[in-house]
Amino acid sequence: MNRDTICVQGGYTPGNGEPRQIPIIQSTTFKYATSEDMGKLFDLEADGYFYSRLQNPTCDMVAKKICELEGGTAAMLTSSGQAANFFALFNICEAGDHIVASSTIYGGTFNLISVTMKKMGITATFVDPLCSEEELDAAFRPNTKVVFGETIANPALTVLDIEKFAKAAHAHGVPLIVDNTFPTPVNCRPFEWGADIVTHSTTKYMDGHGAVLGGAIVDGGKFDWMAHAEKFPGLCTPDESYHGITYAERFGKEGAFITKATAQLMRDFGSMQSPMNAYMLNLGLESLHVRMQRHCANGMAVAKFLEAHPKVAYVNYCGLESSPYHALAEKYLPNGSCGVVSFGLAGGREAASTFMKELKLAAIETHVADARTCCLNPASSTHRQMNDEQLAAAGVPAELVRMSCGLESSEDLIADIAQALDKI
Ligand SMILES: *Cc1c(COP(=O)(O)O)cnc(C)c1O
């Protein structure tokens, strides 16, 4: 099926007399006739549900839709994008292992890898996403277990050369995880370019209404764990905490990764999405393909207007021909990228502050990818403890404004931006 149809109808097909909308199975637990029936579930010998900390039918229906959209073989929902990225990485890495990651990834994921996972004994090397193949190759170590990047980074808006990163990962016998939050599978399917695992913060465009936090992990089903068994003992040797199951043997390339993440990580960490949130996420997914078009059209219109304005020093948007990421965007994002644009005001910090104060439609929020346009000046909010030099070094100079274009009329958005720029 076409992606548009999957957005609307994927993941759930009601039988005769069953509800048209996906049912919300708001239950922590599930009933069985005999202990033997339940035992089979615990041994992963039968499919079924026993406790919503690990799996829930409503969540699975929505995960199935996201799986179909990405063209994967198995998927799971998580309570947030942070949980999705942590689970995806920790499903592969353990103490003593090493991660190669793009340096421009989301701040939350950067902290997760460089601070929290470091405390767990997992180290990382960060590489410029525009690095040469040789530089990328040099970042690998004998204990490297995974490569990580974002299709379009939040908020740096760099575009990942997925094929380059996949080639390097595979040459070293490890998988590539791509966080595909910003383009969504409507605009890019990383598996088609060699990625092995895809993650999402469904909090962003997939929900799209600023209503529910959530995340997802999708397995492309192509990475051959057993061919590199010495690197991945968690997948390729018996799990004593699960009756000696060897995930890669029992569930194959298509199912091992998600089964292990569910049976082991969800069991132990319990970051499942609530069925109610999954239901609301699905309402967002039903219109994702329609909304992405408008988000992208508004992003492009705003970026072009800003680029031509004398009070604007520079604009970061991969859809613009002036962008250093334009060629990569043409290859990986031919139908559009996302609605997030960032730009610098010629007047510096003070101009940014005046501009933000004068906006009427665009609300000041830390959020992005909402139906309502929102914006943020990192220097006066999320990064306000830093001075101008520190801000520049962190890649968020004082004059930088990040604007997430919503679904309003582009004429109204531009008129709002124009009047706010006039006040500077
Ligand atoms: C927001 C975001 C996350 C974190 O997701 P939460 O749902 O906020 O936990 C991870 N990656 C990217 C690219 C994001 O934009």
User: Residue 114: its pLDDT value, please?
Assistant: 94
Encoded tokens for 412: 């109204």
Residue 253 CA to ligand 1 centre (angstroms): 27
Residue 247 is predicted with a pLDDT of 97
pTM higher than 0.85, yes or no? yes
* Strand pairing category for 74-78 and 98-102: unpaired
Query: Distance from the CA of 281 to the center of ligand 1, in angstroms?
Result: 15
Average pLDDT over residues 122-129: 96
**Span 347-388, pLDDT tens digits:** 998 999 999 999 999 999 889 999 999 999 888 887 777 788
From ligand 1's centre to the CA of 81, what distance in Å?
Answer: 5
Q: Dump pLDDT digits (tens) for 296-320.
A: 999 999 999 999 999 999 999 999 9
Residue ranges lining ligand 1, Cβ < 6 Å = 80-82, 85, 106, 108-109, 150, 154, 179, 181, 201, 203-204, 213, 215
Amino acid at position 255, single letter: G
Q: Which residue's CA is minimally distant from atom 5 of ligand 1?
A: 81
Concatenate the DSSP letters of all residues of 55-122 into one string. --HHHHHHHHHHHHHHT-SEEEEESSHHHHHHHHHHTT--TT-EEEEETTS-HHHHHIIIIIHHHTT-
Predicted pLDDT at 199: 98
pLDDT tens digits along 253-290: 999 999 999 999 999 999 999 999 999 999 999 999 99
400, two tokens: 């930088």
pLDDT digits (tens, 9 = 90+) for 157-175: 999 999 999 999 999 999 9
**Ligand 1 center–CA 167 separation, angstroms:** 25
Cα of 20 vs centre of ligand 1, distance in Å, is 31
Mean pLDDT on 210-230: 98
Q: Show Cβ contacts of residue 386 under 8 Å, excluding neighbours closer than 6 positions.
A: 379, 394
Q: What angle do CA 237, 242, 247 make, to 5 degrees?
A: 40
105 CA closest ligand 1 atom index: 13
